[in-house]
Chain A
Amino acid sequence: MSRRAVDALFQALYLLTDIRFILRETAPVHELDDEQKVRAGKAIEKLKKQVTILEEELS
């Protein structure tokens, strides 16, 4: 059992959901203001870390 991989999977899905909501609140032009850019940037950085964990655990 890889609890670490499962946690990383869900965390990644939740971070993607945060990004999905930035796309929703900025539709249809998706021009992000400064605050939204910071939120998106943080979510993407955290997402990269979760993907790295998945690579480590599953490869």
Chain B
Amino acid sequence: MKCTADIDTRDVEELYINIDPIQAGGRLTVDAQKAAIAYSDGYSVCDNCRKPFRLDYIDKPPIADFHRDCAEWLNMDVVRLVPGARRGFQAVVSSIVEKGDPALVTALSHYTEFASLEQAGADIHEIPKDEHNHITAENAAARIEDVTRETGKTPSILFVEHVDYQYGNIHEVAGIAKVAHQYDIPVLLNGAYSVGIMPVDGKALGVDFVIGSGHKSMAAPAPSGLVATTDEYADIVFRTTQVKGDITGRTFGIKEVEMMGCTLMGVTAVGLVASFPAVKERVLHWDHEVKNSNTVADALCAVEGTLVESDMPREHTLTRINTVDSFNKVAEIHKKRGYFLSHSLKKNGIIGVIPGSTRVWKYNTYGLTDAQIGIVCEAFQDIARENKLNVS
């Protein structure tokens, strides 16, 4: 079915169960879909923008309330909306990292964390993961010591992923933050895979910045995200413009430099705001999501030769699976080669596994109903049996 002459209707969420690793938490809520219909035009949230003319002051739709409520919900002091988590990294780094400063990321950091630091000219160093694919306080402490000794400077920032994108493992954030603060290093939490799907308490974790992704985990349109910080850093990261035009003498009120004034001015902002009540509610049911994740992981592990490379039992819905000795053995002799798995899944009403992947791949069960979890488990095991793999 066509949406326009050249654009297909995207109806995969209506026709299939989607287990794509990055799409699960960003599916809109019903309220966000309705708000998106009403606010689809460009500057749609600006109808009632009044002095001092800034996004976080808009009362109708209730964007100002959202900013206050979201900060409270994350147990941080101040929140701003940004066009994606990556723009949050960029805003923080641009505010507190100088050219040549050492900065710490981890062996599981996303490329956008690196890129934000590269853009600032930082001297980037990684904290290694341990043998269980975890970033630990012990490794962070050792790396801080090494980098400080090698460079003669204490790192200006330490990035840590709450949940990493490679394994979906939960990391030792509170311990790492405690260690970093002993060296006066501010800590940025990459919450792209946590904020909006599982409980996040910034103060309990002891971090200085929480970055969330609207389109990855807050049921919002892309690109959307947030930066949350403490009163200590709010005046630095959200500093207002001081510039004055040398001919016109113009000044620009309370526009924030790192936000480039306003950020999300239409469907992205209203989508985040509309989903927020449901998002706050859904994180309370995280245990059920984890249970469903384990149900699927167990069903896959019942296929002989299959290994979960993420932590087991699962503590998150994003999972990395190794099927080199199961589905990949089938791929070696199947007429569709590596495409047999995604093809067979699609025939069973399931999409989201990268076509051709039969070795190491990822999936995400977030937001599926119990009935859909059952269909996914049954499909993997049926496909295994059809291809002569043993299922225990």
Asked whether, in the complex, the Cβ of A27 is within 8 Å of the Cβ of B372, the reply is: yes
Q: Is B107 an interface residue (CB 8 A)?
A: no
Asked whether, in the complex, the Cβ of B34 is within 8 Å of the Cβ of A17, the reply is: yes
Asked whether, in the complex, the Cβ of B15 is within 8 Å of the Cβ of A27, the reply is: yes
Asked whether, in the complex, the Cβ of B13 is within 8 Å of the Cβ of A17, the reply is: no
Asked whether, in the complex, the Cβ of A14 is within 8 Å of the Cβ of B37, the reply is: yes
Considering the chains assembled together, what is the distance between the CA atoms of A20 and B375 in angstroms?
Answer: 20
Asked whether, in the complex, the Cβ of A21 is within 8 Å of the Cβ of B30, the reply is: yes
Residues of B within 8 A of A27 (CB): 13-17, 349, 372
Asked whether, in the complex, the Cβ of B369 is within 8 Å of the Cβ of A28, the reply is: no
Residues of A within 8 A of B30 (CB): 17-18, 21
Which residues 29-57 of A have a CB within 8 angstroms of B? 29
Instruction: Encode contact with B along A9-22: 1 for CB under 8 Å, 0 otherwise.
Output: 01001100110110
Interface residues on B, range: 10 to 19
Considering the chains assembled together, what is the distance between the CA atoms of A27 and B16 in angstroms?
Answer: 5
Residues of A within 8 A of B16 (CB): 27-28
Smallest Cβ distance from B44 to chain A, in angstroms? 14
Q: Is B38 an interface residue (CB 8 A)?
A: yes
Q: Is A3 an interface residue (CB 8 A)?
A: no
Tell me which of B13, B348, B349, B371 contacts A24 (CB under 8 A).
B13
Tell me which of A14, A17, A24, A29 contacts B375 (CB under 8 A).
A29
Asked whether, in the complex, the Cβ of A10 is within 8 Å of the Cβ of B37, the reply is: yes
Residues of B within 8 A of A5 (CB): none
Asked whether, in the complex, the Cβ of A17 is within 8 Å of the Cβ of B33, the reply is: yes
Given known pairs A27-B15, A27-B16, the reply for A21 and B38 (CB within 8 Å) is no
Q: Is B92 an interface residue (CB 8 A)?
A: no
The 3 closest A-B pairs by CB, nearest first: A28-B349, A23-B14, A21-B30
Q: List 9 A-B contacts (CB under 8 A).
A: A13-B37, A17-B30, A18-B30, A23-B14, A27-B13, A27-B17, A27-B372, A28-B348, A29-B349
